[in-house]
Chains A and B, each alone.
Chain A
Amino acid sequence: MAEQAATDLRTTYTETSGLRSIASDFSSDRQAFRNVSWGKAMMWIFLLSDTFVFSCFLISYMTARMSTTVPWPNTSEVFALTIGGKSLPLILIAIMTFVLISSSGTMAMAVNFGYRRDRRKTAILMLVTALLGTTFVGMQAFEWTKLIHEGVRPWANPWGAAQFGSSFFMITGFHGTHVSIGVIFLLVIARKVWRGDFDQERRGFFTSRKGRYESVEIMGLYWHFVDLVWVFIFAFFYLW
């Protein structure tokens, strides 16, 4: 009898879809998101909070830019590079964008090979992702150096509105920090994959929990988020 009831309950959980699945998820007294592991749910919640932080930065930049009476520097010219005697607008930013998108591509494939339990390919793809991430940070360091030489400071710049400097260092700096932390995170997980920790269910250093290949997907969520934020920075800061 009780077993029958339990089976019925299970069927209602697994067979519902659409709005009914939301109702059954949120009215569940065990866990809110059925079939979503705690690790994945927690990473999503962290990313949601991070979204708010980045949103606050971008919205304050928008407010500063829209309300200042001083002309805003022309980003197309500020971020132009002279290559072979020809000035190319925004070329560095375009290359950085392609590098970061490629790293997202290799990361997505790493997650896929992780679930196929192909240790070698997963680890190599994660290392390629880390390498592309490092390239991105390196190019950002070059960009910062160039602008600092041209006299851009958090409180001033040679082309107009002082808020340009503060927004630039704040937004790209915070994003660059995320990329750098992501690279470290990638290397840690890549090492675990390479060593076979997820096959042997070896316990983690901090958590004492058994590692699973899902860690690669959770790591991937963070990495794609970093790429996602760059999509918005690229559009709002460099193209606007």
Chain B
Amino acid sequence: MAQGGAHAQGQQHPIKLYLVVWAWLFVLSACSYFVDYFQVQGLLRYALIVLFMLLKAGLIVAIFMHMAWERLSLVYAILVPISAVLVFVAIMVLESDYTLLSRIVFFGSGS
């Protein structure tokens, strides 16, 4: 079994794999930086920033933190609670939109 196998040998993977991931992290970071350097604006900017961010986070967690080879129950025990954070983000986006609207309506701009 692949999952058990990686543990038996203590997460042994070729060094080349880590170097490739490292190089990709450099490339993706450079891409995020150039989004700002060339002042890409609007929806494209946010889409690119979030895309590069998620790719980097995914590479770090899957390869460097060995999650790709962990037991599925451990993976779920970690990722399911984190997905609750996304719900929290959605709630707070709605809440802050409402707060902003109230501030504009009741205080005018500048508060």
A22 interfacial contact with B, CB 8 Å: yes
Size class of the A contact interface (CB-based, 8 Å): 35 or more
Is the pair A69, B109 in contact by a Cβ cutoff of 8 Å?
Answer: yes
Q: Does B68 sit within 8 A of A, measured CB to CB? A: no
A59 touches B89 (CB 8 A): yes
On chain B, the residues within 8 Å of A67 by CB distance are 95-97, 99-100, 103
A32 with B73, Cβ < 8 A, contacts A48-B78, A90-B33 known: yes
A123 at the interface (CB under 8 A from B): no
Take A48-B82, A97-B29, A105-B25 as given contacts and tell me if A231 and B56 are in contact as well, using a CB distance cutoff of 8 Å: yes
Asked if A148 is at the interface (CB within 8 A of a chain B CB), the reply is: no
Residue of B21, B33, B45 most packed against chain A (CB within 10 A):
B33
Q: Which residues of A contact B1 (CB under 8 A)?
A: 14-15, 17
**Docked pose: A228 CA to B25 CA in angstroms:** 11
The total of Cβ contacts below 8 Å across the A-B interface reads 171
A233 CB to nearest B CB, Å: 10
Do A115 and B92 touch across chains, with their CB atoms under 8 A apart?
no
B33 with A35: CB separation less than 8 A: no
A67 to B102, CA, bound (A): 9
- Is A116 an interface position by the 8 A CB rule? yes
Q: Which residues of chain A are within 8 angstroms of B12 by Cβ–Cβ distance?
A: 112, 115-116
Q: Is the pair A66, B96 in contact by a Cβ cutoff of 8 Å?
A: yes
- Residues in chain B near residue A102, CB distance under 8 A: 22
**Is the pair B10, A228 in contact by a Cβ cutoff of 8 Å?**
no
List B30-67 residues whose CB lies under 8 Å from chain A: 32-33, 35-37, 39, 45-46, 49-50, 52-53, 56-57, 60-61, 63-66
Are A89 and B96 interface neighbours, CB within 8 A? no
CB <8 Å contact, A214 and B22 = no
Do the beta carbons of B70 and A36 come within 8 Å of each other?
yes
Do A41 and B104 form a contact, CB below 8 Å, given A51-B85, A112-B12, A228-B57? no
Cβ-defined contact, B72 with A22, below 8 A: yes
Of the listed stretches A131-139, A166-174, A217-225, name the one at the interface; the rest are far from the partner chain. A217-225
Q: How far is the CB of A29 from chain B (nearest CB, A)?
A: 14
Contacts of A70 in B (CB 8 A): 110-111
B85 to chain A, nearest CB (A): 5
CB distance from B74 to the nearest CB of A (A): 5
Report A170 CB to chain B, min CB distance, Å: 16
Contacting pair A51 B65 (CB below 8 A)? no
Contact A69 B107 (CB under 8 A): yes
Q: Does residue A94 face the partner (Cβ distance < 8 Å to B)?
A: yes
A35, B71: Cβ atoms under 8 Å? Answer: yes
Among A32, A108, A115, max chain B CB count under 10 A is at A108
A-B contact pairs, 15 of them (CB 8 A): A14-B4, A17-B72, A22-B72, A33-B74, A36-B7, A51-B82, A76-B36, A90-B37, A104-B60, A108-B63, A109-B18, A221-B65, A228-B57, A235-B53, A239-B36
